[in-house]
Structure 1
Amino acid sequence: MKVRQCSKCTENTEYFCQDCQHDLCRQCKQTHDFDLETKHHDVTIYREKKYLVLKKEMCKLHPNKPYIKYCKLCEFPFCFSCTEHRNHPVMDIRRAYKLQRQQCNEVISKVRTENLFSSMFFLAEVRSKIRQCSSDISSIEANLLKNASDIKYTLDWALRYKTYTLCFLMQCIQLEIKQHDDCIKTPIKFLRFCKDRLNSPKLVNQSNGCMAVMLKMLEWNISYHRPAELKLMELMKEPMIRKSFSVKGVHWTLSEESLLGSRLGLKESVEVPHIGCFNYISCVGPNRAWVSKMNLLILTNTSGEKLYTLEDLQGTHLSCTHTVTCEHDLIYIDATQNIRHLSADLKTRTILIKKKNLKWEPISVYCSPHSGDILVGMIKTDKIIDKDSFTIKGMVTRYNRNGKKPIIIANESSHIPYYLAENTNGDVVLSGYIAVVVTDSCGNHRFSFWGHLSDELDLTFRINAVCTDTLSNILLCNWSYDAVQIIDKNGKFLRNILTKEHGIFRPVSMSYDVTTHRVWINFGWDKTIHVYKLIERNLESID
């Protein structure tokens, strides 16, 4: 196959100049365009050379007749049969074609010599600006994403804090209303209260003054004077601080020891014959509770009747594998390590939180009665290289009540979250068998409780379940001391509220009912749940 060569060099022909009648390559074409003498020439692509021969174009009105003339007035070609243009100024069709082509060549020449040349510089400038804009846009986008993430975190935290605060205030108001109704509004209860206080040893030597006080308080109560009721209601506020105040000149005190209870009274015992010794308790109101052993989970009442049974509980760990919401719904870890939800009517069971990370294994779950959030404790086991040992790390993640928007509270911790709880002040409490670790709601460490016998590490200190009461105290099942202990929200040891003298032996699990202030406790190798009343409030008169 023969390829035509350029008329000025040996390269292949790509263009054709109509004025010079030369074949041009790409390089010679550029030189031809920039040369002042030939820059106005008509240069076209070589393969279009054959189309430069004028073709006969047929008239649209008379398809069999070609155009032969061009009307200057109408600026339209016409054939011999078109009679409407005969009185108009006309010219030959070829001459009209050459004139139109010349005008177009002038425009093309201007584009080639001026616009095309200057556009090369504009294009380089635009490309540099595009690259600069791309980097600026990436930086702005990164800042926007960071600001959006910070705003989302702030809004989520504020919403959760406000929700928790409202729930806590509502519970405090409900508690005050109940105490107000029980102690003041009912005259009979108030009279019994006055009688018991009058017979106390501290008031025997002050009978005259106390009688006057009783008469005035009885008079206020019977006549329902609001100032006296409001003063007495102040006794219910700030319960963990020794508080003294006066009502109509009479001084009263509410002591911390009396709030903790001089002794816990055993209210009832519930035997669960269907399960034997069990691992954990989740109370459901004042009359029912979920109890578990290995993979078996049973709903029972205070009569010991079996109401419902589940057999897909994760039973590989001695931990709090199930919990109950404020609406009495059940949340538990199933055998496939997913967090499931069972409605209070026992009819609807769904997956609330699906396991996604294969390295982390959920071992504990807790639903806060204050905020409604769900805390999930997880562990990760890593083998040490070149050794036959393992390291175990713990993590606590907070979810909302729908199982969404996870927030990691404690990550890669050396303390294993076998048992979880949330205090009324927002602190997260976890039990790792050897210590109680408390963090704030953001995961910042507040304190660790290693035992109360000394300031140093107590190697005999072993605990199981933990829970919190409405006074922000923390209750511990001390396995090694055969006791149920209580510490305040700052980690200060308060007292042993149940010991061997009360028949306590190896306490394993514990659950607190925020509505009745009762503690449900189970002892090791025992199939009986013991229910104790925790909070009692006592008033004493002082000089």
Structure 2
Amino acid sequence: MKRNIVMIQKYEHRYEKSANRPVQFLRFIKTVHLPQIQDTPLLSQHCLLSLTQKINTGDMIKLLSEIKITGSGKQRLAGNELLPTLMSSPVLLKYILVASVKYCYHISCVTPGRLWISDWNNVILKDTATGKTIYSLKGSSESDSGNHTVNRESELIYIDNHYKIRKLSADMKTTTLLIDETDPKWKLICVYCSPSSGDLLIGMRKYDTGRFIGKVMRYNDPCRQKPINPQNKTPDNLYDYPGYITENNNRDVVVSDWRRGAVIVTSGEGIYRFSYTGPPPSGSGLEPRGICTDALSHILVCDLTSGTVQLLSKDGEFLKYLLTSPSQGLDYYAPYSLSYDFYTHCLWVGSGMLMSHRTLSVYRHINRHPAILDQN
């Protein structure tokens, strides 16, 4: 019942906003699937808008003109008041001890109640409310990097132990081979699914002439590869070991390369933008691991050298230490993996150093609008 009420409030809010935006209203009403509600009270008869390709303009104007917005109910907020804001300090909401993995090397959020966690050779699905294991995946690659991701259909995409990309269906009954990399010199080490495009961003590495060389490839449907390696004036050897990849809200590709000691950022087309090598003064050293971005386009990265989670602007400016060890929720371990849940605006932090403390901690570092709080 509560979920239905929240859904109705969402429709009401969007309907109210569309009164001043007719085009947006028409797009919304033609695509939304409204739930069937029984015992609907009798309403006064009014004109009905025919949802065909040809819309009767007169009926549309008449319908929109009949919409009345009163001062009752929740106060409408305008402008920047609706936007999330950065909190002065993060708040620990809860933490979970994870007994079924040795480390928490990588996290992929599925829903607010479920997430995938991996250690060296295990990938498990956890219920975040109970801490119970829902599913244990066998045959994933041995990796301490970001070797799995979740697509828009809540399907798990992962690197298997033969360095192929596979997809596990949302009901966990079907596995599909997506990418079979043919060049044995290149090993797939991380994968990320773009929420905006659905493309797969894959980090690879090879060992050549005594050193590691890395690259990042973009695969779109049906998994045709398109290189997004550096172009123009960017050095050819931009990456050594692209261990974690994420995408920012502006489509920037953000890579954590621990062998380079840097967070490397390119545009969505592969044009080099900047490298972050640590906080002032002059990049004081960085051993980056897990990485993510948030609703405000911040870049968050785990640093094993300092045992911190560092907060950067989308342009690579160091803003602050978001989390430090030891602190609340980080008393026994250094942060290793990160995942930001855009549904709840919660930050998940996983441990990766001490086998006796496999911990998942969840923080809030962004203030949300009260209307959003009511719906979650």
TM-score range, shorter chain: 0.7 to 0.9
Residue aligning to 1:152 = none
Q: Is the 8 A contact 1:409 1:441 kept in 2?
A: no
Cα contact 1:260–1:534 (8 A) shared by 2: yes
- Per the normalisation by structure 1, the TM-score is 0.51
Query: Aligned pair in 2 of structure 1 residues 347, 225: CA closer, same or farther (>3 Å)?
Result: closer
Q: Does 1:304 align with 2:131?
A: yes
CA deviation after TM superposition for structure 1 residue 307, in Å? 1.1
The equivalent of 2:96 in structure 1 is 270
Q: Deviations over 1:59-112 (max 9, x none)?
A: xxxxxxxxxxxxxxxxxxxxxxxxxxxxxxxxxxxxxxxxxxxxxxxxxxxxxx
The code of the aligned residue for 1:262 comes to S
1:290-327 per-position Cα deviation (integer Å, ceiling 9, x unaligned):
11122211111111211111121111x32101111122
Q: Does residue 334 of structure 1 match 2:153?
A: no
Task: Report the Cα offset of residue 334 of structure 1.
Answer: 0.3
Greater helix percent: which structure?
A: 1
Distance 1:326 1:494, change over 3 A: same
Q: For residue 235 of structure 1, what is the aligned residue in structure 2?
A: 80
Q: Is the 8 A contact 2:311 2:319 kept in 1?
A: yes
Instruction: Indicate the residue corresponding to 1:391 in structure 2.
Output: 211
Q: Quote how far apart the aligned CAs of 1:477 are.
A: 0.8
TM-aligned CA deviation for residue 238 of structure 1: 6.8
Distance 1:423 1:236, change over 3 A: farther
- Work out which of the residue numbers 462, 465, 474 in structure 1 matches 2:290: 465
CA distance in 2, matches of 1:356, 1:485: 37
Counterpart of 2:191 in structure 1: which amino acid? Answer: V
Aligned 8 A contact 2:156 2:169 in 1: yes
Percent sequence identity is 38
Q: Does 1:477 align with 2:305?
A: no
- Taking the TM superposition and a 5 Å limit, the aligned residue runs for 1:305-454 are 305-315=132-142, 317-383=143-209, 390-410=210-230, 412-433=237-258, 434-454=261-281
Shift of the alpha carbon at 1:406?
Answer: 2.8
CA contact (8 A) 1:419 1:431 kept: yes
Cα distance in structure 1, aligned partners of 2:283 and 2:88? 29
SS in 2 for 1:413: coil
SS at the partner of 1:235?
Answer: helix
Measured on the aligned residues, the alpha-carbon RMSD in Å equals: 2.7
Distance (Å, rounded) in 2 between the aligned partners of 1:278 and 1:492: 28
User: Which residue is 1:196 aligned to?
Assistant: none
Partner amino acid, structure 2, of 1:392: F
> Per-residue CA shift, 1:161-199, capped at 9, x if unaligned?
xxxxxxxxxxxxx9xx69x79xx9xxxxxxxxxxxxxxx
> 1:384-438 CA distances to partner (integer Å, 9 max, x unpaired)?
xxxxxx1211100011254224333346434421110010101000011211010
Higher strand share goes to which structure?
Answer: 2
Distance change >3 Å, CA 304–CA 429, structure 1 → 2: same
Taking structure 1 as reference, are residues 225 and 328 closer, same or farther at Cα in structure 2, changes over 3 Å only?
closer
Question: Which protein has the larger Cα radius of gyration, Structure 1 or Structure 2?
Answer: 1
Q: 1:484: Cα distance to partner?
A: 1.1
Q: Secondary structure at the match of 1:510?
A: strand
- Kept after mapping to 1: 8 A contact 2:335/2:349: yes
2:349 alignment partner in structure 1? 521
Aligned residue for 2:327, secondary structure, equals helix
Greater mean deviation of Cα atoms: 286-295 or 494-503: 494-503
1:284 Cα deviation (Å)?
1.3
**How far off its partner does 1:224 sit?**
4.0
Q: What is the aligned partner in structure 1 of residue 335 from structure 2?
A: 507
3-state SS of paired residue (2:92): strand
Q: What CA distance in whole angstroms lies between the structure 2 residues aligned with 1:529 and 1:465?
A: 13
Could you say which residue in structure 1 is the equivalent of 2:49? none
Name 1:58's counterpart in structure 2. Answer: none
Unaligned runs of 5+ in 1: 1-173, 185-220, 240-258, 384-389
Residue 260 of structure 1: how far off its partner (Å) = 1.5
**Correspondence list, 1:10-409, <5 A:** 223-224=71-72, 229=76, 232-236=77-81, 259-302=85-128, 303-315=130-142, 317-383=143-209, 390-409=210-229
Alignment partners' CA distance in 1, 2:92 and 2:140 = 30
More relative contact order in 1 or in 2 (CA 8 Å, sep 6+)?
A: 2
CA separation in 2, counterparts of 1:313 and 1:277?
15
Count of matched residue positions in the alignment of Structure 1 and Structure 2: 296
- SS of equivalent residue, structure 1 residue 535: strand
Please name the residue that 2:63 is paired with: none
In the other structure, the counterpart of 2:319 is: 494
Q: What residue identity is the alignment partner of 2:245? A: L
Relative distance call for 1:236 and 1:404 in structure 2 (3 A) is farther
8 Å CA contact retained: 2:298, 2:313: yes
| One-letter amino acid matched to 1:234 | G
